[in-house]
Amino acid sequence: MAALRTYFINLVLRNVVKRRLSACRSPLEARKVFDSASSSTPSGVRLTQATLGGVVGEWAEPENRVAAATLLYLHGGGYIGMSPRTHRAITCGFALRGFRVFAADYRLAPEHKFPAALDDATAAWRALRAQVEGPIFVAGDSAGGGLCAALLLNMRDHREKGPDAACLFSPWTDLAGTGASLKTNRHRDPMVVADGMQAVAAAYAGAADPRTPLISPIYGDLAGLPPLLIFVGDSEILLDDARRLAERARAVGVAVDLRVYPDMPHVWPFLSAILPEGRQALDEAAAFLFAAGAVAPASATPPTGVLASNATAS
């Protein structure tokens, strides 16, 4: 039953989302596809529009209970599209699991090239750090996952207090596009189009070298980063972006938990309303962050997820 459900979800993604993205001829056309994504807002979460460090965004907080920890969330969308609104399935999922989440609506390319997104993430982080006592975490998906890693490097290089741990879903960490899975999984990936990655990367990097570590974190010195939890699907074209980030971080002593899920589409927690594996990944992410920050999540009860693991931890 689970395999059949996954098959049909991937089939729909391939015939709708991937087909639409394949027809795009520019990053701005791709933005229209990204921004058409819908994300459910579950009950039990309070949404509040806000500005943090001059960066607009929204808070997602559990209703009628005290959040156990604070999380900065950086959405995906290739640095060219999407927003906190499109990612409420994930941010509200974290809120239901006991987090007070600020989703930053950082500036997008091509109107705002590197380092605009990183500057906004940094400003939001600094403001959050100044307001909150105790552990604070960061999480993000796809481009937002890469942006999380860049934020960690930026804070370390500025000798500032960074997040206590980070969770990355299907992170895009190599905008130079050198990962082998871009080719080996180009037809297996049910959603992301390999041929459009270079144009999207150029829209964000602009004149900068895409191998700049604050653009593509896998090319940086990863020493001194906090614990990382990385999720990726084994059929994703970004599989090697996640694997290589994990390998290079481990090589310099960073604690890394890489979880490779079979047959899952790009950023599958986005589909947590219909995909049990999405709820499972959010359950695992919350448990990891709470453990990393020595936080007791007693004030929140997460929704029922899938307890049996379908992932491969490495």
DSSP 282-294: HHHHHHHHHHHTT
Of 236, 272, 277, 284, which one is the catalytic site residue? 236
- When mean pLDDT is compared across 54-63, 75-84, 230-239, 297-306, the lowest value belongs to 297-306
Specify the pairing of strand 69-74 against strand 99-104: parallel
At 139-152, the pLDDT tens digits run 999 999 999 999 99
Q: Is the pLDDT of residue 300 over 50?
A: no
Residue 270 per-residue DSSP state: G
* Residue 302 binned pLDDT confidence (cut-offs 50, 70, 90): very low
Classify the phi-psi angles of 142: left when phi > 0, otherwise alpha if psi is within -120 to 50, otherwise beta: left
Query: Is 235 in the active site?
Result: no
Of 142, 181, 216, 235, which one is the catalytic site residue? 142
pLDDT score at 53: 97
Query: What's the helix, strand, coil split of the chain in %, to 5?
Result: 40, 15, 45
Which residues are 102's β-sheet partners? 59, 72
Identify the burial level of 119 via C-beta atoms within 10 angstroms of its C-beta, where 0-12 means exposed, 13-18 middle and 19 or more buried: middle
Classify the phi-psi angles of 77: left when phi > 0, otherwise alpha if psi is within -120 to 50, otherwise beta: left
- Over range 68-95, report the average pLDDT: 97
Q: Is the pLDDT of residue 244 over 60?
A: yes
- Over range 204-214, report the average pLDDT: 98
- Over range 278-306, report the average pLDDT: 77
Can you tell me the distance from the alpha carbon of 201 to that of 262, in angstroms, rounded to the nearest whole number?
27
Q: Is the pLDDT of residue 74 over 50?
A: yes
Can you tell me the distance from the alpha carbon of 285 to that of 282, in angstroms, rounded to the nearest whole number?
5
pLDDT score at 65: 82
pLDDT score at 14: 96
pLDDT score at 303: 43
Query: Is 266 in the active site?
Result: yes
Is-contact 282 97, C-beta < 8 A? yes
* Residue 73 binned pLDDT confidence (cut-offs 50, 70, 90): very high
Which residues are 3's β-sheet partners? none
pTM, full prediction = 0.94
Place of tokens 């694997």: 243
Of 181, 266, 277, 284, which one is the catalytic site residue? 266
What is the share, in percent, of the chain residues with pLDDT greater than 70? 94
Can you tell me the distance from the alpha carbon of 206 to that of 210, in angstroms, rounded to the nearest whole number?
9
**Smallest Cα–Cα separation from 113: which of 221, 220, 252, 208?**
208
pLDDT score at 307: 30
Query: Is 187 in the active site?
Result: no
The parent domain of residue 110 ranges over: 2-313
| Domain count along the chain | 1
Q: Is the pLDDT of residue 306 over 50?
A: no
pLDDT score at 297: 73
What is the share, in percent, of the chain residues with pLDDT greater than 90? 89
Q: Is the pLDDT of residue 188 over 60?
A: yes
Q: Is the pLDDT of residue 50 over 70?
A: yes
- Burial code of 13-26, b = ≥16 C-beta within 10 A, e = fewer? beeebbebbeebee
**CATH number for the domain that contains residue 247:** 3.40.50.1820
pLDDT score at 134: 87
pLDDT score at 38: 78
Sheet containing 256-261: order of strands: 45-52, 55-62, 99-104, 69-74, 136-141, 166-169, 228-233, 256-261, 312-313
* Residue 314 binned pLDDT confidence (cut-offs 50, 70, 90): low
pLDDT score at 313: 56
- Over range 81-105, report the average pLDDT: 97
Is-contact 231 259, C-beta < 8 A? yes
